[in-house]
Structure 1
Amino acid sequence: MGKNEELEDKSIYYRYRKEAGYTREKASELLDMPVRRIEKIETYSQDATPLDIVKMAKCYKKPNLLNYYCVHECDIGRDNIPEIATSELEHIILETVDSLNEMAPQVNRLIQIGRDGRVTDDEIEDFAFICCKLEEITLAVDSLNLWVKNTSLENKLNGELLKKYKDKLN
């Protein structure tokens, strides 16, 4: 196995293109991107642009590619965007319910802490715990949203109908 082949095997861009069933030539056509550029992105010999990633995520039906790029390759996102795990629906729901249950008793404490508009030293420990639980809930919601996008793209969920009902509620 040559050096480029070893790198390609480790490249998420290569794997997702292959999982979508595309040759580089076909991906080039669909992405409106030169074959050589796709190869360079897949072997990490050239950085992808955000627009490249948006096109790939859509073409390969892998919305989690956007989060991967932001977390691992974007200078801004690397330190500011959490990685969203792709999980099965049952796991996402259990994590969400667990985090909500742990947070519920803390609601009154959060109100007490926030009442004066500041966090004092004697409140920091409780505040840190609450912040961590809220971050867990946020990640669970992000994971659920990613699951919905993936499942919709795989035609295993009626995304249009879900959007219709969500829009009605908003």
Structure 2
Amino acid sequence: MGKKATKAADNMYYLARCEAAETNADFSSREKAAELVGIDRTRLARIELDTIVPYPEEVKAMAKAYNTPELNNSFCARECPLGRSSVSEVDIVDFDRLALKVLGSLKDIDTLRASLIAISEDGIISEDERPAFQDILDSLEKISTNAKALKLWAIKNIHIKEEDV
């Protein structure tokens, strides 16, 4: 890629385009990238410079063109008014680290299952059961986040279609 846009250096959309440019020189140029993504060049520049928030459709188009499915997740977790309170941002790392994170989050699944059964036996979550129930919810969130990261890694690196995962 030619010169780096210092004002956009930490923008996730700019960084995704830079990553895509490593394997496709067409993304080295904002003009060509905008054409391939289907976004006006000046709009893409404003998105990369953080002067405007992209529309979800634009994020989806960039994620697909740049082969960075994590953009969709990051948009939902950081910028979407609804997603900010309900979507956890995932960190896509190497496969071996992701696999270990998934396995680590699943190691206590039998304990979680037993605890959930014990809490739900009477159909009521009592005050003394609330901390254990919160631990269950926290563990399930960790499992969910790690599973999402592994799914995004598969979509990005071995080109599994999102609807197939």
| TM-score normalised over the length of structure 1 | 0.83
Map 1:17-56 → 2, pairs under 5 A? 17-21=17-21, 22=27, 23-56=29-62
Q: Any stretches of 5+ residues in structure 1 without a counterpart?
A: 154-158
Given that residues 70 and 152 in structure 2 are in contact (C-alpha distance below 8 angstroms), is that contact kept between their aligned partners in structure 1? yes
CA distance in 2 between counterparts of 1:6 and 1:24 reads 14
Q: Deviations over 1:27-47 (max 9, x none)?
A: 121122211111011101122
Which residue identity is paired with 1:41? I
CA distance in 2 between counterparts of 1:136 and 1:29 reads 38
Deviation at 1:121, TM superposition (A): 0.7
- Following superposition, which runs of at least 4 residues in structure 1 exceed 6 angstroms of deviation? none
Question: CA RMSD for the aligned pairs?
Answer: 1.8
CA distance in 2 between counterparts of 1:95 and 1:15 reads 25
CA distance in 2 between counterparts of 1:121 and 1:15 reads 47
Deviation at 1:14, TM superposition (A): 1.3
Q: Deviations over 1:125-161 (max 9, x none)?
A: 21111211111111111111011111124xxxxx37x
CA distance in 1 between counterparts of 2:32 and 2:38 reads 10
Identity across matched positions, percent: 30
Deviation at 1:117, TM superposition (A): 2.1
Given that residues 31 and 59 in structure 1 are in contact (C-alpha distance below 8 angstroms), is that contact kept between their aligned partners in structure 2? yes
CA distance in 2 between counterparts of 1:109 and 1:7 reads 50
CA distance in 2 between counterparts of 1:89 and 1:99 reads 15
Given that residues 101 and 146 in structure 2 are in contact (C-alpha distance below 8 angstroms), is that contact kept between their aligned partners in structure 1? yes
Q: Any stretches of 5+ residues in structure 2 without a counterpart?
A: 22-26
Given that residues 38 and 61 in structure 2 are in contact (C-alpha distance below 8 angstroms), is that contact kept between their aligned partners in structure 1? no
Deviation at 1:7, TM superposition (A): 2.2
Which residue identity is paired with 2:40? P
2:104 to 83, 98, 106: 98
The residue aligned with 1:156 is none
Which residue identity is paired with 1:39? A
Q: Deviations over 1:84-132 (max 9, x none)?
A: 1112222122222222222322322211211222211111121111211
CA distance in 1 between counterparts of 2:48 and 2:30 reads 10
CA distance in 1 between counterparts of 2:125 and 2:33 reads 52
Q: Alpha carbons of 1:115 and 1:135: their partners in 2 closer, same or farther (altered >3 Å)?
A: same
2:146 to 107, 121, 140: 140
CA distance in 1 between counterparts of 2:158 and 2:9 reads 27
Report whether the alignment pairs 1:9 with 2:9: yes
SS in 2 for 1:10: coil
